[in-house]
Amino acid sequence: MENSEKELAVLKAAANEIRQDIIRMLGTAGSGHPGGSLSAADIVTALYFKFLRIDPENPKNPDRDRFILSKGHAAPVLYSALAQRGYFKREELLTLRKLGSRLQGHPDMKKLPGVDMSTGSLGQGLSAANGMALAGRLDSKDYRVYVLLGDGETQEGQVWEAAMASAHYRLDNLTAFLDHNRLQIDGPIEEVMSPEPLADKWRAFGWDVQVIDGHDMNQILQAVERALTVKGKPQMIVAETVKGKGVSFMENQAGWHGSTPNQEQTEKALAELLANKL
Amino acid sequence: MTKKVATREAYGRALAELGKKNSAVVVLDADLSKSTKTADFAKVFPDRFFNMGVAEQNLMGTAAGLAAAGKIAFASTFAVFAAGRAFDQIRNSVAYNRLNVKIAATHAGITVGEDGGSHQAIEDIALMRSLPNMTVFVPADEAETAGAVEAAAQMNGPVYIRLGRAGVPPIHGEGFRFETGKAVVVREGRDAAVIATGIMVTVALEAAVTLAKEGIEVRIISMHTIKPLDVKTIVSAARETGALVTAEEHSVIGGLGGAVSEAVCENHPVPLKRLGIQDEFGESGKPDELLVKFGLTAAAIAGAVREVVKRKG
């Protein structure tokens, strides 16, 4: 199925806006994680602006789709999507990481409407997603659970405990993304502690696996649409991504995992993003 | 003689009963359902029971997800694996989010016996009570266990229920009502008070009989809730008896003894002795042999009471 040019253009523009928000938020906060937020921007955009059945007016609706950002350090990408979907005012984004803010350094479900699970300690999101998917099935609800994992995160053993369980319980109402940007704090994942071959591992664990370009909006949409048709298996979409995507001097630089742009770098990054806006 | 029932068995029964009353209750286990007695629930409600295999981190995380979607999730395994191995999952996925996960951990303490020190949780109370939002129950008999399970299901938020492998006799009469955070005076006395928890309540009652023959009347308090701590009952005991002993099948660091010491020091300091595991790991042996070796006997409690009574001056 081809997605209309118009829809793709709208989504690409939304992803660009999210990337701008990420840069503004982190430039203002002075701490946080730009690289992995930027690499996940297109996936999160597709979910929040196309697939998730959610109602910002009723964030606790029991029938809603769930999204868990298991790589919780990419909080800015989630916050921007939530703000743009109307969960709270976009100005609030600039309170990120400040005392008293609902926008904690890592997502906090008790503080911020729209956050379905607090995350931050890596490796825990998929287990929670399994629980939500099991509950949905038990209650005969048709909501879906989406979860986004980092590739470095798959070094956590709990991820594989959870991966085993998703397949064992045939959770076909669960769709996971792997943000495969190939970098972690100390360098390339293959040098620090290789979890590869990742797609093969998920397949071996009993998942339906697709590998896509995680910055090609059309591929993202098609992969999710295909995942929705899979029966009897959880679905993993391995998204090949670029850490820092969209800001030239941040791309493929491990150093931008957890350091933030100064004022000059913030302006330069925003100028680049604006220039690339459709 | 009244029949002894292990608190894990009482848990299994209470849970199956709870399942009938409350359809939101789901149960998870990590390949120990026959030992933790969650199998009783699984038999009646197979659809609401999830065996997660030998994977305790995922056990707790999945329970958190079920709770976030509206379920009351009871998660069971041995205490050493629940509180120890899955501590970060309990901290970050469960307690941080104040989710409705009830961790019912069995085989706590040294009375696990022959399995040895690797399987004997002596630090779980300390770990669990240090977590914000967590309620901690350590029932002493079947009635307290049933009450703890019911109370856990009723309250909103995470609960840790510490259960044992070994049989314990009933310590409460027919009219007993379990109240969260309300300690129970199971024997009156004015010369000293023993504050005990779990299997040590029974042992403390035995010691009281011995001491009564010597003319020392000891108040025995069953502290079935470690958190929130019943500071009022503790301070009353300190004020009215002037000497305290704590008794627990747990390290003297951070558990009941630690909690009581904190309350007493801040409010009404009196001579106090903590009985428990003295900062060491357990080992293999029969439960009764281990209780003797680690000084968790009626004789040891009686000795500690004599000591604190003497220190009153």
pLDDT digits (tens, 9 = 90+) for A22-80: 999 999 999 999 999 999 999 999 999 999 999 999 999 999 999 999 999 999 999 99
Strand partners, A22: none
Query: Pairing relation of β-strands B225-227 and B135-137?
Result: antiparallel
Q: Across chain A, where does the E strand assignment appear?
A: 66-69, 145-150, 174-180, 183-184, 187-188, 208-213, 235-240
Nearest CA in chain A to B52: A165
B178 found inside a domain: no
Candidates B31, B57, B58: best to mutate against A (most CBs of A within 10 A) is B58
Q: Is residue B236 part of a domain?
A: yes
Chain A's closest residue to B59, CA to CA, is A127
- Identity at A149, one-letter amino acid code: L
Q: Hey, CA dihedral for B29, B33, B39, B41, is it positive or negative?
A: negative
Do B162 and B189 belong together in one domain?
no
pLDDT mean across residues, chain B: 97
The pLDDT of residue A98: 97
Looking at CA atoms only, how far is residue A97 from chain B in angstroms? 17
Considering the domain architecture, whether residues B125 and B11 belong to the same structural domain is answered as yes
- pLDDT score at B2: 74
* CB-based contact, A117 to chain B, within 8 Å: yes
Cross-chain Cβ contact B65/A127 below 8 Å: yes
ipTM of the complex: 0.96
The model's confidence at residue B301, banded by pLDDT at 50, 70 and 90, is very high
In a domain, B116, yes or no: yes
Stretch B282-286: mean pLDDT: 98
Tell me the average pLDDT across B172-195.
Answer: 96
Residue B38 domain boundaries: 5-168
- Our CA-based measurement puts residue A268 at a distance from the nearest CA of chain B, in whole angstroms, of 37
pLDDT of residue A36: 97
Residue B313: the pLDDT is 74
Tell whether B43 and B164 lie within a shared domain.
yes
Residue B1 has pLDDT above 70, yes or no: no
Average pLDDT over residues A78-83: 98
Q: Please check the confidence at residue A142 and state whether its pLDDT lies above 80.
A: yes
Q: Residue A165 is nearest to which of B58, B68, B88, comparing CB atoms?
A: B58
Is the per-residue pLDDT at A257 higher than 60? yes
| Side chain identity at residue A22, one-letter code | I
Alpha carbon of A260: minimum distance to chain B alpha carbons (Å): 26
Co-location of B226 and B101 in the same domain? no
CATH of the domain at B71: 3.40.50.970
Mutate to test the interface with B, among A73, A104, A115, A132 (most CBs of B within 10 A): A132
CA separation (Å) from B124 to A197, A245, B79, B108, B151?
38, 45, 7, 8, 20
Q: Do B70 and A109 touch (CB under 8 A)?
A: no
Average confidence (pLDDT) over B226-254: 98
- The answer to whether residue A197 neighbours chain B at the CB level (below 8 Å) is no
Length of chain A: 278
Q: How confident is the model at residue A3 (pLDDT cuts 50, 70, 90)?
A: low
A135 and B CB contact within 8 Å: yes
Percent of residues, chain B, with pLDDT higher than 90: 98
Residues B193, B164 share a domain: no
**Do B71 and A138 lie within an 8 Å CB cutoff?**
yes
Instruction: Show residues of chain A in contact with B96, CB under 8 Å.
Output: 108, 110, 118
Domain count, chain B: 2
Which active-site residues of B does the annotation give?
56
- State the CATH number of the domain containing residue A110: 3.40.50.970
Q: Is residue B179 part of a domain?
A: no
Chain B nearest-CA distance from A95, in A, is: 21
Cβ atoms of B257 and B246 closer than 8 Å: yes
- Cα distance between residue B19 and residue B187, in whole Å: 34
**Is residue A164 within 8 angstroms of chain B, CB to CB?**
yes
Q: Which residues contact A275 (CB under 8 A, 6 or more apart)?
A: none
The pLDDT score that the predictor gives to residue B174 is 84
- A181-A246-A251-A26 Cα dihedral, nearest 10 degrees: -90
CA distance B178 to chain A (A): 30
Give the CATH number, domain containing residue B291: 3.40.50.920
Tell me which residues of chain B have a C-beta less than 8 Å from any C-beta of chain A.
26, 47-48, 50, 52-53, 55, 57-58, 60-71, 73, 88-89, 91-93, 96-98
In chain A, the residue whose alpha carbon lies closest to the alpha carbon of B90 is: A124
User: Chain B: residue nearest A125 by CA?
Assistant: B61
Specify whether B53 is located in the same domain as B149. Answer: yes
Evaluate if residue B233 carries a pLDDT over 90.
yes
Single out the residue in B108, B137, B168 at which a domain terminates: B168
Q: Is B69 close to A131, i.e. CB distance below 8 A?
A: yes
Report the percentage of chain B scoring pLDDT > 70: 100
Q: Is residue B58 part of a domain?
A: yes
pLDDT class of A278 with cuts at 50, 70, 90: low
In this prediction, residue A53 carries a pLDDT of 98
Residues A112-137 pLDDT 10s: 999 999 999 999 999 999 999 999 99
For B47, the closest chain A residue by CA position comes to A138
The reply to whether A155 touches chain B by the CB within 8 Å rule is: no
User: Average pLDDT of chain A?
Assistant: 97
The answer to whether the CB atoms of A62 and B70 lie below 8 A apart is yes
Q: Of A60, A68, A124, which to mutate for an interface test with B (greatest number of B Cβ within 10 Å)?
A: A124
B175 domain-assigned: no
How many structural domains compose chain A?
A: 1
Q: Do B62 and A165 touch (CB under 8 A)?
A: yes
Query: Distance between the two ends of chain B, CA-based, in angstroms?
Result: 40
Q: Is A70 on the interface with B (CB under 8 A)?
A: no
Q: Does A136 touch chain B (CB under 8 A)?
A: yes
Q: Which domain holds residue A119?
A: 5-276
| Both tokens assigned to B5 | 């029932």
Alpha-carbon gap, residue B72 to B52, rounded angstroms: 17
CB of A157 within 8 Å of a chain B CB? The answer is yes
Instruction: Give the span between the Cα atoms of B166 and B8, in whole angstroms.
Output: 8
Shortest Cα distance from A166 to chain B (angstroms)?
10
